Amino acid sequence: MGKVHGVPDASSRPVDAVLFDFHGTLAQVEDPVAWVLAAAAACGRELERAKATVLADRLVMAGRAGGPLPHRVPPHLAEHWAERDLYAHAHRAAYTGLAATVTTDVEGLADALYDRLLGPDGWLPYSDTEATLRSLHGSGVKVGVVSNIGFDIRPHFAAWGLDALVDAFALSFEVGRTKPDPAIFLRACGMLGVDPENTLMVGDSQADAGAVQAGCAALVLPAAGPGRPNGLGATLALTCR
């Protein structure tokens, strides 16, 4: 089980709502090689798997949305990078710009790679996501999704049949604040009509633990690979009524 922050004994604290991070908590981006193959196919090219593997490694190192942070952001992309989770245009410009630093003979690949993010096929919910959300919904606990992101993820949840299980989305590019700023967590609590002191934030990073500064408790779980269980059952243990 991950570490609970914010209260001496989180299990004794009544929980009226749970806020979830999106990437690395409820869902993971698709395998990098599958990502490259699908994007190339959208550009009308069928790549050999060996070539796609080499290309995927280079693209991930350059900076993939949902992947590790890039080691270096070129100066001409610095402003877009700094604002990537606040504006949709900056998010696209930052990640297509990083992808364009990798030499490839597939015309339009940078945009096609980014477009994979915008649809549900480019993501895999963790295997315990649906069961966890359904259990919370069934027990009357409100659910919010709080994400540092530059595009709308509501269609993803609709495609996965999970949209009815989420009561509110606080997305950084809409709210104008990014985690760990307490404001985004407070906005989510306001959307749900709940007291932060009775709210649990579940995520995979110290930015998610920033919810403690808003008065919430926070559970930090390590991210897992695509489609694997992510330990979300721990959430249910902390929200038993």
HEC-encoded secondary structure of 16-63: CEEEECCECCCEEECCHHHHHHHHHHHCCCCCCHHHHHHHHHHHHHHH
pLDDT in tens, 29-68: 999 999 999 999 999 999 999 999 999 999 999 999 888 8
pTM here is 0.91
* Segment 82-111, tens digit of pLDDT: 999 999 999 999 999 999 999 999 999 999
Mean pLDDT of the residues in the chain: 92
Nearest to 122 by CA among 152, 156, 148: 156
The 8-class DSSP code of residue 106 comes to: S
Whether the predicted pLDDT of 241 surpasses 60: no
Q: Give whole-number Cα distances, 18 to 56, 132, 145, 155, in Å.
A: 35, 11, 9, 21
Domains of the chain: 3-26+126-238 (3.40.50.1000), 30-122 (no CATH)
Cβ atoms of residues 197 and 186 within 8 Å: no
Determine which helix (DSSP H) or strand (DSSP E) holds 220, and give its type and residue range.
strand 217-220
pLDDT tens column, 156-178: 999 999 999 999 999 999 999 99
Q: What angle is formed at CA 120 by the lines to CA 114 and CA 122, rounded to 5 degrees?
A: 45
pLDDT the model gives residue 115: 97
H/E run at residue 131 = helix 129-138
φ, ψ of residue 4 to 5 degrees: the values are: -95, 130
For residues 29 and 41, what is the distance between their CA atoms, to the nearest angstrom?
Answer: 18
Contact yes or no for 62/96 (Cβ under 8 A): no
Query: Is the model's pLDDT at 8 over the cut of 70?
Result: no
